[in-house]
């Protein structure tokens, strides 16, 4: 297994031969590392991850919570994920029109 250069747990599930895996395949990761919550599991190997941004609104002198969603590639070795799981993502080359992040760690759900 390759060292992806970021301090994450080694994935434990089976690798299915997907080359777009940063640990077993040839996918290179660079750029931003983000954390988010799984919001949807619609597509195979792709998940939708939501992130909360807290913004200060000068006009109203209060904070506003905004949620942004992005699609991320889910390598098979990360294993099963569920909606609500906290995951770590890292930027990679664009894998499709909307996917340019890859899930690199699953920290499970709340509780
Ligand atoms: Zn893998």
- C-alpha 74 – ligand 1 centre gap (Å): 9
pLDDT in tens, 39-91: 999 888 999 999 998 889 898 999 999 999 999 999 999 999 999 999 999 99
> Ligand 1 center to residue 5 CA distance, Å?
15
Cα(13) to centroid of ligand 1, in Å?
8
| Ligand 1 centroid to residue 72 C-alpha, Å | 15
Residue 9 reports pLDDT greater than 70: yes
11 C-alpha vs ligand 1 centroid, how far in Å?
7
Q: How far is the centre of ligand 1, averaged over its atoms, from the C-alpha of 86 (Å)? A: 19
Check whether domain 29-106 has CATH 2.40.50.1000, yes or no:
yes
DSSP string, the chain: ----SS--PPP-SPP-S-S--TTTSS--EEEEEEEEEEEE--STTEEEEEEEEEEEETTTTEEEEEEEEEEEE--GGG----TT-EEEEEEES--SSSEEEEEEEE-----
Output the CA 21–ligand 1 centroid distance in Å: 5
Domain boundaries defined on the chain: 29-106
Put simply, whether the predicted model's pTM sits higher than 0.85 gets the answer yes
């Amino acid at each position: 297994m390759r060292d992806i250069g970021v301090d994450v747990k080694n994935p434990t599930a089976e690798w299915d031969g997907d080359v777009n895996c940063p640990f077993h395949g040839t996918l290179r990761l660079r750029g931003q590392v983000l954390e988010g919550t799984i919001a949807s599991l619609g597509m195979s190997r792709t998940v939708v991850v939501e992130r909360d941004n807290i913004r200060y609104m000068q006009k109203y002198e209060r904070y506003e919570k905004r949620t942004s969603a992005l699609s991320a590639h889910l390598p098979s070795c990360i294993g099963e994920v569920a909606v609500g799981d906290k995951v770590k993502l890292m930027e990679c080359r664009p894998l499709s029109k909307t996917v340019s992040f890859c899930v690199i760690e699953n920290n499970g759900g709340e509780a």
